Amino acid sequence: MSENMTHDPHVGIDKQITETLSLSRYLMSDRELNELIRLIHDSCGISLNSTKKSMLSARLGKRLRALGLPNFKEYYKYVQETLGQNDELVLLIDAVTTNTTHFFRENNHFDYLAHHALHKLHGDNDNIKVWSAGCSTGEEPYTIAMVLSDYFRHHPGDYRILATDICTSVLEKARQGIYESKELENIPPQYKYKYLMRGKGAQAGRWRIVPEIRKKVDFGRFNLVSDDYDIGGPFDVIFCRNVIIYFDAETNARLIDRFYRHLVPGGYLFIGHSETLTGKNEHFKSVAPTVYRKPEKYDSAVRRLAG
């Protein structure tokens, strides 16, 4: 939906309303549904089934409209072509990803990080490296950055955060670090006034993350199911919350194994509150609800001797 369209009185109001509401004029056959489900699974790991037909049809309907294509059959054909693969696949994935997030979401994770994990990690490592995998619009990595900045005010050392998401549109917002007041309601006041700046003039009503926090976070597009895991590391902490709920068991087992290999011994993995590693990985130790730890070198040596 373009900004102009919203304000253009010459465009029929019925058309504007139709487009604003993304009213779906497109019907999806079962065959098209299955082809798209397979394509989505192969390109980004998201596992959908036929119960998501209306969601998929609504989300991709916008892409059909943007491209001026008449139906899903033509759309599927286009995405298979070279041009479509280059230009459209990224936008298709953008459209099918779910990006729900907010600041200090599942706050006990940040309590655990500040009061338990950092003390354990900090002993032998003054520089903490964190990966926010599935960072969406930036609320999670900036929350982590606020907690870590606060911690390192009282402790020697520093930190760096890598924040990745497969969806390109959320990364733009994340990089800018500008949020509406309403999006900040979960930030404790002592953090809000220290780590955000108030907008004025054209930016009145918005807030922006302060530059010293912004420069601590590197944002980039990353596909968690890709074969190329050349992303730096190892990390002391990995946050991957409310991501594995979209993947199937096989994809998750592979992903969790990769997280394990990209953590330092004694490193922490935080997953979403409704998620579990039970049956997905036997190496991680559960240290708190939805908080897991890779055994320290000593632990694994002992286990090997015992086993």
Show the tokens assigned to 27.
Answer: 């019907």
Q: Does 282 bind other proteins (CB under 8 A)?
A: no
Q: Which stretch binds other proteins (CB under 8 A): 74-82, 104-112, 140-148, 242-250?
A: 242-250
| Shortest spacing between CB 276 and other proteins, in angstroms | 6
Give CA 276 to chain center in angstroms.
18
DSSP H helical segments within 45-188, as ranges?
53-67, 72-80, 82-96, 108-112, 118-122, 139-154, 168-176
Coil, strand or helix at 9:
coil
Q: Does 137 bind other proteins (CB under 8 A)?
A: yes
Show the tokens assigned to 22.
Answer: 């993304």
**Contact track, other proteins, 216-235, x by CB under 8 A:** --------------------
Q: Does 86 bind other proteins (CB under 8 A)?
A: no
For the chain, give the longest Cα–Cα distance: 78
| Shortest spacing between CB 47 and other proteins, in angstroms | 9
Cβ proximity to other proteins, 111 vs 180, nearer residue? 180
Handedness of CA 104, 106, 108, 113 (dihedral sign): negative
Provide the angle, in degrees to the nearest 10, between the axes of the packed helices 53-67 and 30-44. 80
Using CB under 8 A, pick the residue from 27, 83, 202, 306 that binds other proteins.
202
Q: How far apart are CA 127 and CA 139, in angstroms?
A: 22
φ, ψ for residue 121, nearest 5 deg: -75, -35
| Shortest spacing between CB 100 and other proteins, in angstroms | 4
The footprint of other proteins on this chain (CB under 8 A) covers a number of residues equal to: 54
Using CB under 8 A, pick the residue from 172, 218, 250, 257 that binds other proteins.
172
Q: How far apart are CA 273 and CA 186, in angstroms?
A: 17
Q: How far apart are CA 286 and CA 11, in angstroms?
A: 58
| Shortest spacing between CB 293 and other proteins, in angstroms | 20
Please check whether residue 206 is in contact with residue 178, taking contact to mean a CB–CB distance below 8 angstroms: yes
Using CB under 8 A, pick the residue from 228, 278, 304, 306 that binds other proteins.
278
Cβ proximity to other proteins, 225 vs 231, nearer residue? 225
Annotated catalytic residue 165: yes
| Shortest spacing between CB 280 and other proteins, in angstroms | 9
Q: How far apart are CA 235 and CA 246, in angstroms?
A: 24
Q: Which stretch binds other proteins (CB under 8 A): 73-81, 108-116, 164-172, 225-233?
A: 164-172
Q: How far apart are CA 258 and CA 275, in angstroms?
A: 17
Catalytic, out of 63, 105, 165, 206 = 165
Q: Does 245 bind other proteins (CB under 8 A)?
A: yes
Show the tokens assigned to 115.
Answer: 């009061």
Using CB under 8 A, pick the residue from 100, 156, 228, 230 that binds other proteins.
100
Using CB under 8 A, pick the residue from 68, 123, 156, 201 that binds other proteins.
201
Burial 69-80 (b: 16+ CB within 10 A, else e): beebeebbebbe
Interface residues with other proteins (CB under 8 A)? 1, 3, 6-9, 13, 16-17, 20-22, 52, 55, 62, 98-100, 137, 169-170, 172-173, 176, 178, 180, 182-183, 193-194, 196-203, 205-208, 210-211, 242, 244-246, 272, 274-276, 278-279
Q: Catalytic residue numbers?
A: 59, 165
